[in-house]
Amino acid sequence: ALDKEQMQGLRGIREFLKVRTSYDVLPLSFRLVVLDNNLLIKKSLNILIQNGIVSAPLWDSQKSAFAGLLTSTDYINVIQYYCQFPDEIDQVDQFRLSSLRDIERAIGVLPLETVSVHPMRPLYEACRRMLKTRARRIPLVDYDDETGHEMVVSVITQYRILKFIAVNNEKYTMLLKKTVKEIGLGTYSNLATATMNNSVLDVIHLMVKHNISAVPVVDRDNKVLNVFEAVDVIPCIKGGAYDELSASVGEALCRRAEDFPGIYTCSEDDRLDAIFETIRKSRVHRLIVVDDESRLRGIISLSDILKYVLLFGEEEDDIRGS
């Protein structure tokens, strides 16, 4: 019966995502900071920090066109470039946002696929594309009929989608009574972790190596103290202070904004309905799974949740392929 209810809940949510559009996810009024591609990378850091954001669409004003999405991955790429070519620090200082693609090439990383969706397409489509491409945020790009130019309307994130589901589908999310353990939600082996004494640079290399954007910070007994996130890199390199990356994780975490909401934990016996409850109430970026003594057990990323909600019980190939 639990299985049946669970599937009923999942199907309800999937139907909902098919009849709603990305546009529906947007709040009635919102602000969007778009950065000119010609801006110095160094200056972009300050703008993000001042606006309390961690990502922004880029605009090519010569072509009047959308030019991709700036995220913490781009700054991590700049740091890797700096590590590979330490003599070029003066040049690094002069890089503009438009140089980000050259930086990717120089350090040999594949550019993240820039997917965008039209705001009036079904939300389900945006979700599927997120899972397929590992894109964590998708810009909504529309066309201005008068000028024929592209127009960035907003950016939707995994959190916004999950929150939209949580707020509007209580009747379905309450059917999701299986526990994290029962549905195998999240990752429980080969966890990448750090200690307070590791350097920020160590953790950045770890994130690059594992292709992840957060590393739990644990003590000697594997108790969870904090989480270092890719976005925590931004205040570290403010003003082009790349040499400060040798500072410890502990020091770096002190640079977090005053209003940092904290990290969220759960237990393996928590049910998915409770997780949706947390998402409904708080700005969760991921859940750290701990035991009764706060020791690290696993990590549930938002993509793990989205993947389960969209794909569980669909064709097996889809799950593996995405």
Q: Report the DSSP pairing between strands 35-36 and 56-60.
A: parallel
# of chain residues touching ligand ATP (CB under 6 A): 18
Nearest residue to ligand ATP on Cβ basis: 303
Find the binder of ligand ATP among 104, 232, 270, 304 (CB under 6 A): 304
Give CA angle at 160 (158, 166), nearest 5°.
100
CB nearer to ligand ATP: pick between 149 and 210: 210
Residue 299 contacts ligand ATP per CB under 6 A: yes
Q: Taking CB under 6 A as the criterion, which residues in 183-222 touch ligand ATP?
A: 186-187, 190-192, 210, 212-215
Residue 302 contacts ligand ATP per CB under 6 A: yes
Task: Give the gyration radius of the chain's Cα atoms.
Answer: 20
Q: What interhelical angle do 72-84 and 41-51 show, nearest 10?
A: 140
> What is d(CA 299, CA 124) in angstroms, rounded to the nearest whole number?
25
> What is d(CA 272, CA 289) in angstroms, rounded to the nearest whole number?
13
Report phi then psi at 66, rounded to 5.
-65, 135
Residue 303 contacts ligand ATP per CB under 6 A: yes
CB nearer to ligand ATP: pick between 273 and 304: 304
The residues pairing with 264 across neighbouring beta strands, listed in sequence order, are 287
Minimum distance, C-beta of residue 317 to ligand ATP, in the bound complex (Å): 18
Q: Taking CB under 6 A as the criterion, which residues in 279-298 touch ligand ATP?
A: 285-286
Q: Taking CB under 6 A as the criterion, which residues in 102-161 touch ligand ATP?
A: 136
SS3 258: coil
Minimum distance, C-beta of residue 211 to ligand ATP, in the bound complex (Å): 7
SS3 290: strand
Interaction site with ligand ATP (CB under 6 A): 136, 186-187, 190-192, 210, 212-215, 285-286, 299, 301-304
